[in-house]
Amino acid sequence: MVTAKGAIKAGIMLPVLALPATALAKKQPNIIFFLIDDNGWVDRQVAYGGEVYPNNLRFDTPNECRLASEGVIFGNAYACPVSTPTRASLITGTNAARARITNWTSPTANVPSDAVGGSKDMTVPGAPAEGDRLWHGEWNWNGVSPVEGVPNTLYAKPLPQLLKEAGYYTIHVGKAHWAPSGTPGSNPYNMGFCVNVAGTEAGMPRSYQGRDNYGNTPEKWNYAAVQNMEEYYGTDTHLTEALTREALKVLDYPVSHGQPFYLYMAHYATHTPIQADERFFKKYRGRGMDKGQARYASMCEGVDKSLGDLYAYLEEHNLLDDTIIILMSDNGGNADVKAKGGVPHTQNAPLREGKGSLYEGGIRVPLAIRWPGKVKAGSRIDAPVMCEDLFPTMLHMAGISSYNVPQPVDGIDLVPVIRGKATPDPERAVIFNYPHKWKPEYRPEVDFMSSIRKGDWKLVYVMWEGRLELYNLREDIGETRDVASEHPDIVAALAKELSDSLRSWDCPQPIKTATGTPVPMADELVRK
Amino acid sequence: MVTAKGAIKAGIMLPVLALPATALAKKQPNIIFFLIDDNGWVDRQVAYGGEVYPNNLRFDTPNECRLASEGVIFGNAYACPVSTPTRASLITGTNAARARITNWTSPTANVPSDAVGGSKDMTVPGAPAEGDRLWHGEWNWNGVSPVEGVPNTLYAKPLPQLLKEAGYYTIHVGKAHWAPSGTPGSNPYNMGFCVNVAGTEAGMPRSYQGRDNYGNTPEKWNYAAVQNMEEYYGTDTHLTEALTREALKVLDYPVSHGQPFYLYMAHYATHTPIQADERFFKKYRGRGMDKGQARYASMCEGVDKSLGDLYAYLEEHNLLDDTIIILMSDNGGNADVKAKGGVPHTQNAPLREGKGSLYEGGIRVPLAIRWPGKVKAGSRIDAPVMCEDLFPTMLHMAGISSYNVPQPVDGIDLVPVIRGKATPDPERAVIFNYPHKWKPEYRPEVDFMSSIRKGDWKLVYVMWEGRLELYNLREDIGETRDVASEHPDIVAALAKELSDSLRSWDCPQPIKTATGTPVPMADELVRK
């Protein structure tokens, strides 16, 4: 979320004349939004911060390197720490804390996902267990809704709907995960997509393997079995490849009709289960990686190959100059899951922690934007940006400068900055909220946190422990040295800004199970 | 199948100049192909033969009555006795016997469906059991393939692909069932559809009930669990209604862009499982029907309501004059399944037998075509027509008069006849082949049959029994009186024409398990 005073300088949109869709169509670039799942900031050759870390050397991602070299990359791009909040922000422009969509949505309507592992079928809400000092408040556990009046949702007009109304052919391929089944938000056709391949309520695939029918077998099936993939059942086709092939088929209509398209290419990879993409697995084993790490690396390269296939398609159809590509991950790498060999996926180093956490490993994500003729190739922006920024940014790119939506749009249009026509505000405040327990066991570096970043400073509120931590990210990217005691004034100012925002949005603090009262806001700790 | 000499008189298409898709688009009517599953000839108020039978009075189908009153109906329209052959003929124009796609395709590639119940998960081919005197030959058990070289398929360029290339926006909603999973034909995107909702390898739905998640629960799941329906999980929405709502959403793109559309609205209903559409169930119970019959009747009216919803959409969007609607069933009513109350579904009377059989109850189907301004409202044609005729007919309607396809097109363009510009050939020969056992137990009126109809005469070859039967359908629509012994000359002539055709197409006769030799052709019996 962005406070009003923290807006990017000169990032104000000018009103333009409304044009019919057909007139606009000629100027509308194609947009491919290439979203990778649970894919860490350093799980790639591209060094988004400008410094190459050992982890960057573990993965071959030549097509992302091409993308970075042709466009602009962001050194401090942020998403939410888990899937649905990021996806909700991307499709609505609303900051996830303000949207009160602060955790992933479960497969079943009206069942909060809190404190239940993702692999379980969820049809019954969880309850505090012994030792659960804190429990979640009433958040929007039914996610995003394009229809008014659905309980526990953010009612919103989604990005694809706006693009479709402006003449875009909107395509959904892969993971949706905006809302549970039994609600309108679980259906991409309700979100403004002309076509949906494989998008459901699921936040993960039951299996990546064609030989497992992607989970569509009596032995394996659960709600996460991937739909629309029957062509590849019983074959060696990894899900990443299958989704890419389907995307290319669906692109045929808009491309052959000269319609601008929006392809939301949302790979299930590299979410768990970590299963080898056999095309690349042996190569990584040959480099001495253990099996789990090699599996993960092969999945990362599989996704990169998908990007390469899209590039090849654009080239073949002479669309390279007309197509924007935006690459991003929905949160940090999942450092919580250890490879079977026992060696952890330390893929987020030098960042601390991973998916689920508000330390940098959970929220700092790759972001690269290729926009031919508009963006300086090979450039980098280090000012903090947030996933919701891509909502107004893509609308601007699509030539849509006036729109009415019911949801608050917190995102800042990045177009002036990436075009070099404005300077980003280095003091922009970025706010995160995770008032949840992620998994059944308490995780001190993950559960019940909120945070604010402003300039080089980052305040982390660990609510379970009742502690405020302060880090200087410029000096200490790994958040290894808590300097709160050295800078009480900065702590107080950031705590106030964080608390003021969360209060103004009526964000639910976690509840103390012993008393039923909410956990204090960060600034209440300072006053004490 | 139609022999060359049996072509409809004056049914020759004139070559026209090739026009670009945009120029053609203005003249191209929308086409809705409304296909009902396992829905008997008399499961409706419309009396397709011109005579009202008691069964017609059991169902309220006001929207089909409207359709019939606005268009032309066929008194002797035929399909194949089971699902896939009819669907294959519709999408390729090839007679199913010639295509060697004579049985339904199983969910698994390379596993023939023969002699296995449809509710079983099929991953292993069956084998003859004790008492199986006959067994199937090598048919095209992998169905239709839009890609060359897939074993046991008919390689074909499908109808939607031709329509799409001519500028149509092609939409698949509902049941596909052209091919097993693991083959390209199982994926509607490979068949030329721009959009696919819920079409898979499955020939039935696991459940029609939203409260069952349409089979997507750990308890119920099998391969027939319906995909793309998560929005309605846990609700009271019957699958027929859910599919209709999805179709209307998908229509939004072509309609708002003024693109001609082809909507293949292929309902899963009224296939088993027979499950109440609660919107209509009580009404039929109130008429004294037992539960099973009322469930079935409610499903029939649910499908009719879907047709009404499409009508309402066309009206609302001012498209009634621009839209052709074709209604058909893929085979006769399923008389093999008894209602739970013990009262059989005798829905095919006065016709003999039902789904699976080559007696009229299995193959005579409703067919109505509404074509505003082109077809005389309320008219009826009684000459025999066959499902493959709709392939050239729809292409003609769409203004596509020249096309290259790899498959043989046996269907006859019905446009001259339905426009009243030609007289159908009363002596057209229509050929059927079902060299299979349908279910584990032998069914004397279903299994291992072939047949030819020409004029009023119909020859039925019951291969298991080695018997040729002859019926005069004009005098005996119920096929109650075998007059073979009275007309040996007609038997001989029809047996020759049937056998010549099957031989020329290299159709696999069933195999005698004792000797491994094929069952004799019909004309060999006559010679004996």
Q: Kindly report, residue by residue over B358-370, the tens digit of the pLDDT.
A: 999 999 999 999 9
CA distance B486 to A431: 91
Taking every pair of Cα atoms in chain B, the longest distance, rounded to a whole number of angstroms, is: 65
CB spacing of B194 vs A109 below 8 angstroms: no
Residue A369 has pLDDT above 80, yes or no: yes
Residue B427: pLDDT band (50, 70, 90) is confident
Distance between alpha carbon B477 and the CA centroid of its chain, in Å? 21
Closest residue on chain B to A212 (Cα): B182
CA distance B68 to B47: 9
CA distance A174 to A226: 9
Residue A129: pLDDT band (50, 70, 90) is confident
Residue B215 has pLDDT above 80, yes or no: yes
Which neighbouring-strand residues pair with B197? B173
| Encoded tokens for A94 | 């609303």
A502 CA: distance to closest CA in chain B (Å) = 31
Give the mean model confidence (pLDDT) for residues B218-230: 96
Residue B283: pLDDT band (50, 70, 90) is very high
What pLDDT is recorded for position B140? 98
Q: Is residue B472 part of a domain?
A: no
Place of tokens 């459901």: A200
CA distance B511 to A264: 52
Q: Which residues, including other chains, have CB under 8 Å from residue B312's CB and lie 6 or more apart?
A: none
Mean pLDDT computed over every residue of chain B: 92
A261-266 β-sheet, strand order:
A195-197, A169-174, A261-266, A30-36, A323-329, A367-370, A72-74, A379-381
CB spacing of B231 vs A184 below 8 angstroms: yes
Which neighbouring-strand residues pair with A379? A72
Give tens-digit pLDDT for A217-240: 999 999 999 999 999 999 999 999
Phi, psi of A233 (to 5 degrees): -55, 140
Give tens-digit pLDDT for B48-74: 999 999 999 999 999 999 999 999 999
CA distance B477 to B141: 32
Residue B119 has pLDDT above 60, yes or no: no
Q: Is residue A515 part of a domain?
A: no
Within 8 A of A216 by CB-CB distance, chain B residues are 223
Task: Give chain B's domain count.
Answer: 1
Give the mean model confidence (pLDDT) for residues B291-295: 93
Give tens-digit pLDDT for A386-445: 999 999 999 999 999 999 999 999 999 999 999 999 998 888 999 999 999 998 888 999
What pLDDT is recorded for position A124? 80
CA distance A243 to A246: 5
What pLDDT is recorded for position B463? 97
Residue A26: pLDDT band (50, 70, 90) is low
Which range, of B12-16, B81-85, B105-109, averages the lowest pLDDT?
B12-16
Q: What letter would DSSP give residue A202?
A: -
Determine contact: A310 vs chain B, CB below 8 A: no
CB spacing of A181 vs B231 below 8 angstroms: yes
Determine contact: B509 vs chain A, CB below 8 A: no
Half-sphere exposure of B298 (CA within 13 A, CB side): 26
C-alpha R_g of chain B: 22
- Which of B182, B228, B233 is facing A233, going by the closest CB pair? B182
Within 8 A of A221 by CB-CB distance, chain B residues are 218, 221, 225
Give the mean model confidence (pLDDT) for residues A460-479: 97
Closest residue on chain A to B256 (Cα): A165
What pLDDT is recorded for position A12? 33
3-class SS at A253? helix
Residue B26 has pLDDT above 90, yes or no: no
Determine contact: B184 vs chain A, CB below 8 A: yes
What pLDDT is recorded for position A441? 85
Give the mean model confidence (pLDDT) for residues A27-50: 96
Which neighbouring-strand residues pair with B454? B429, B457
Q: Is residue B329 part of a domain?
A: yes
Q: Where are the alpha helices (DSSP H) in A274-345?
A: 278-286, 291-316
A179 CA: distance to closest CA in chain B (Å) = 9
CB spacing of A189 vs B246 below 8 angstroms: yes
Determine contact: B212 vs chain A, CB below 8 A: no
CB spacing of A234 vs B181 below 8 angstroms: yes
Residue A339: pLDDT band (50, 70, 90) is low
Backbone torsion region of residue B233, taken as left when φ is above 0, otherwise alpha when ψ lies between -120 and 50, otherwise beta? beta
Q: Which residues, including other chains, have CB under 8 Å from residue B288's CB and lie 6 or more apart?
A: none
What pLDDT is recorded for position A263? 98
Backbone torsion region of residue B328, taken as left when φ is above 0, otherwise alpha when ψ lies between -120 and 50, otherwise beta? beta
- Which of B227, B234, B246 is facing A228, going by the closest CB pair? B227
Within 8 A of B183 by CB-CB distance, chain A residues are 231
Q: Is residue A75 part of a domain?
A: yes
Which range, of A287-301, B23-37, B183-197, B353-367, averages the lowest pLDDT?
B23-37
Distance between alpha carbon B385 and the CA centroid of its chain, in Å? 13
Residue B210: pLDDT band (50, 70, 90) is very high
Within 8 A of B251 by CB-CB distance, chain A residues are none
Nearest to A75 by CA among A493, A470, A426: A426
Give the mean model confidence (pLDDT) for residues A187-194: 98
Q: What is the DSSP string of A39-88?
A: --TTSSS--TTSS--GGGGG---HHHHHHHHHSEEESSEE--SSHHHHHH
Place of tokens 């159809």: A317
Q: Which residues, including other chains, have CB under 8 Å from residue B103's CB and lie 6 or more apart?
A: B82, B84, B85, B112, B113, B114, B136, B139, B141, B434, B436
CA distance A160 to A193: 6
Residue A8 has pLDDT above 60, yes or no: no
Say what percent of chain A tops pLDDT 70: 91
Q: Which residues, including other chains, have CB under 8 Å from residue A515's CB and lie 6 or more apart?
A: none
Half-sphere exposure of B517 (CA within 13 A, CB side): 4
Q: Is residue B473 part of a domain?
A: no
| Encoded tokens for A120 | 């379980």
Give the mean model confidence (pLDDT) for residues A309-330: 98
What residues make up the domain containing B103?
Answer: 38-126+134-426
Residue A340: pLDDT band (50, 70, 90) is low
| Encoded tokens for B527 | 């010679």
CA distance B221 to B226: 9
Residue B18 has pLDDT above 70, yes or no: no
Are A402 and A15 in contact by the 8 Å Cβ rule? The answer is yes
Within 8 A of B232 by CB-CB distance, chain A residues are 182
Residue B19 has pLDDT above 70, yes or no: no
Residue B6 has pLDDT above 70, yes or no: no
- Which of B164, B195, B230 is facing A201, going by the closest CB pair? B230
What pLDDT is recorded for position B441? 85
Residue B375 has pLDDT above 50, yes or no: yes
Give the mean model confidence (pLDDT) for residues B21-35: 75
Residue B445 has pLDDT above 50, yes or no: yes
Cα–Cα distances in angstroms (integers) from residue B327 to residues A188, B62, B197, B263, B388, in the given order:
29, 14, 19, 12, 14
Query: Could you tell me how many residues make up chain A?
Result: 528
Determine contact: A440 vs chain B, CB below 8 A: no
Cα separation of the two ends of chain A: 27
Composition of chain A by helix, strand, coil, percent to 5: 30, 15, 55
Phi, psi of A27 (to 5 degrees): -100, -5
Residue A9: pLDDT band (50, 70, 90) is very low
Give the mean model confidence (pLDDT) for residues A97-119: 86
What pLDDT is recorded for position A344? 64
Are A440 and A423 in contact by the 8 Å Cβ rule? The answer is no
CA distance A55 to A297: 11
Give the mean model confidence (pLDDT) for residues B215-231: 96
Give the mean model confidence (pLDDT) for residues A463-487: 97
Within 8 A of A250 by CB-CB distance, chain B residues are 189, 194
Q: Is residue B301 part of a domain?
A: yes
Q: Is residue A367 part of a domain?
A: yes
What pLDDT is recorded for position B131? 87
Nearest to B139 by CA among B120, B152, B130: B152
Determine contact: A110 vs chain B, CB below 8 A: no
Residue A25 has pLDDT above 60, yes or no: no
CB spacing of A182 vs B222 below 8 angstroms: no
CA distance A114 to A136: 7
CA distance A143 to A154: 6
- Which of A223, A230, A250 is facing B186, going by the closest CB pair? A230
Are B27 and B260 in contact by the 8 Å Cβ rule? The answer is no
Closest residue on chain A to B202 (Cα): A230
| Encoded tokens for B74 | 């066929």
CB spacing of B231 vs A121 below 8 angstroms: no
Residue B118: pLDDT band (50, 70, 90) is very low
3-class SS at A187? coil
What pLDDT is recorded for position A97? 98
Give the mean model confidence (pLDDT) for residues B209-226: 97
Which range, of A73-87, A117-131, B44-58, B426-440, averages the lowest pLDDT?
A117-131
Residue A119 has pLDDT above 50, yes or no: no
What pLDDT is recorded for position A245? 98
What pLDDT is recorded for position B339? 54
- Which of A169, A221, A231 is facing B190, going by the closest CB pair? A231
Q: What letter would DSSP give residue B137?
A: -
Determine contact: A222 vs chain B, CB below 8 A: yes
Mean pLDDT computed over every residue of chain A: 92
Which range, of A58-67, B122-131, B158-167, B286-295, averages the lowest pLDDT?
B122-131
Closest residue on chain A to B195 (Cα): A195
Within 8 A of B230 by CB-CB distance, chain A residues are 181-182, 186-187, 200-201
A22 CA: distance to closest CA in chain B (Å) = 9
What pLDDT is recorded for position B346? 67
| Encoded tokens for A450 | 């909120």
Within 8 A of A105 by CB-CB distance, chain B residues are none
CA distance B321 to B315: 9
Which range, of B108-117, B247-256, B485-494, averages the lowest pLDDT?
B108-117
Query: pTM here?
Result: 0.93
3-class SS at A215? helix
What pLDDT is recorded for position B343? 67
What pLDDT is recorded for position A427? 85
Closest residue on chain A to B216 (Cα): A223
Nearest to B214 by CA among B225, B199, B222, B224: B225
Q: Is residue B186 part of a domain?
A: yes
B200 CA: distance to closest CA in chain A (Å) = 7
The DSSP element (H or E) to which A467 belongs, if any, is strand A467-472
Sign of CA pseudo-dihedral B373, B378, B382, B388: positive
The CATH number for A386's domain is 3.40.720.10
CA distance B32 to A53: 58
Within 8 A of A169 by CB-CB distance, chain B residues are 253
